[in-house]
Amino acid sequence: AIEEVGGWASDTLTEDLDLSIRLQLKGWRYIYLPDLTCPGEIPPTFNLLRRQQYRWAKG
């Protein structure tokens, strides 16, 4: 699926959203998996979390 839409974009901070949109435009569909968990790294301080969220919102 990723190769079909041109690969993973490295020139954006919102590469996951970019990929999702391109996949949908090519006809791919999603299903909800309620038991799926995805590990992630959380910034160690509130200030760093705010900075991260700002970057993500800015795109």
Q: What is the pLDDT of residue 51?
A: 95
Q: Which range of residues forms the domain containing residue 48?
A: 3-31+41-58
The count of other CB atoms within 10 Å of the CB of residue 19 is 19
Alpha helices (H) along the chain: 15-25, 46-58
Question: Do the domain assignments include residue 7?
Answer: yes
For 45-59, how does the pLDDT look when each residue is reduced to its tens digit (9 = 90+)?
A: 999 999 999 988 886
Cα 12 to Cα 15, 25, 27, 32, 39: the distances in Å are: 6, 18, 23, 25, 21
Question: Do the domain assignments include residue 45?
Answer: yes
For 4-58, how does the pLDDT look when each residue is reduced to its tens digit (9 = 90+)?
A: 999 998 888 788 899 999 999 999 999 999 999 989 899 999 999 999 999 888 8
Question: Do the domain assignments include residue 9?
Answer: yes
Please report, to the nearest 10 degrees, the dihedral formed by the alpha carbons of residues 30, 32, 33, 39 taken in order. Answer: 80
Query: Six-digit token pair at 58?
Result: 């800015």
Question: Do the domain assignments include residue 12?
Answer: yes
Number of domains in the chain: 1
